[in-house]
Amino acid sequence: MKRLLLLVAMLGCVAVATAQVKARAPYVNFTVLADHSDCLYKIGQEPRLELYAKAGGTGLDGVMVSYEAGNDRMEADLKGTTVFRHGKALVPVGTMTTPGFRFCTIRFEVKGESYTETVKVGFDVNDIEPTISNPLDFTFFWEQSIKKARAVTTPIEVTPITNPKFTNDRFTTTMVCIPCDEEGGSIYGYVTIPNDGAKHPVLFVPPGAGVKHIAPSTSYAEEGFITFTMEIHGLPINASKEEIQAAKERIGEYWYTHIEERNDYYYRRVYVGCVKAIDYLMTLPEWDGKNVGVTGGSQGGALSIITAALHPEVDFVAAFYPALSDVSGYQVGRAGGWPRMFVHSGDHPEINHKKALRVMGYYDVVNFARRVKCPGFYNYGFNDNTCPPTSVRAALNVITAPKKIVETPASYHWRFGEVNREATEWMKSQCK
């Protein structure tokens, strides 16, 4: 018995010792702040980053910091080193002579562990102008494209979804296939309708980039919206993993497909498909007959702005870090939007870049943003390298409709939950 009690006591000591040794916080804590709290400056000003760091609770002292800075998504043009003193170091960012953003990446090492952070700051960002051309027949081209898409009379297929997670006493979800061109191209999506017997606003939710599985979403339905979550590649949403992988290999970099041909470019079917998705939502008997919205991020943010511009019945748009914005930026030595087309003249040598750039004038978000007439909520992060802030502001700055721009300097290619909630509340406030 004594031996048992001794063993229990020893095990208890080991457990306590283990709990005492296990760290409850990282050994190194560091913060990087711009000397303007909003990270925004005037052209010619010279920002500095303030670095604060502790190791084991003691301010770093004598630790070297290396840094490099440059214009958004460009090569660094400023490099150097500095040293932490009493837990603080100051790092220069450089300045700009034209509106835009600059990045600064800092690195240091403590006890063999490396630490790094990148911060971007903006200069007169309200004055960033687009570089993409604005075709004179832009409106006519899209009017004719939509007219042809609406002339396709192949019946819409609606398939009930029986998964109790998406169809239950609160919601009913169906899979919808909408034909959108003469060649048999279609878009698929999930439509989720609240089961409360009331009328509801409709909300179209286009997807981010890639060929991937799309699942129904009930989050906006829980907020009182009828939602349409879309897939853009004509791939049945219930496709197997093998079918999705095969489609990835077949479609690949779809944003380059037929990019030299205005009428055949991959996104043409997608854009008119978004319009037909709104058309379909407006036929639902559960729609309140008044309110139509669209929201999405990245490629979905692009398609949100595009849909708002092309469909006159859209009443509000909430777009996050829209892709496909001012893609020609790299041609003039500044950041362009996803998918980083035309970064180098040697990229995709099989493509005639002059032709492709002319075609992109009909598909770039900037030229749709010029034509948005409904109120909008827009969010982007300064540190986003997928959809660089320079390209996003080039699009947002040409919007003349009422707009609320929420900048979150600390975010990358994602959004904070608090901002997402703010956008949802804003969309609800737009409903009449």
Active site residues: 298, 384, 413
Rounded to the nearest angstrom, the gap between the alpha carbon of residue 287 and the centroid of all alpha carbons in its chain is 28
Q: Which of 356, 354, 352, 355 is nearest to 339 (CA)?
A: 356
Using a 10 angstrom Cβ sphere, with 0-12 exposed, 13-18 middle and 19 or more buried, the burial of residue 71 is buried
Measured between alpha carbons, how far is 237 from 215 in angstroms, rounded to an integer? 8
Q: Tokens 């002339």 appear where?
A: 151
Q: Which of 366, 360, 364, 362 is nearest to 400 (CA)?
A: 366
Q: What is the DSSP string of 154-204?
A: PPPEEEE---TTTSSSSEEEEEEEEE-STT--EEEEEEEEESSS--EEEEE
Measured between alpha carbons, how far is 254 from 299 in angstroms, rounded to an integer? 13
Residue 107 dihedral angles phi and psi, to the nearest 5°: -140, 140
- Strand 157-160 and strand 186-194: pairing? unpaired
Using a 10 angstrom Cβ sphere, with 0-12 exposed, 13-18 middle and 19 or more buried, the burial of residue 141 is middle
430: which 2 tokens? Answer: 């737009």
Fill in the amino acid letter for 111.
K
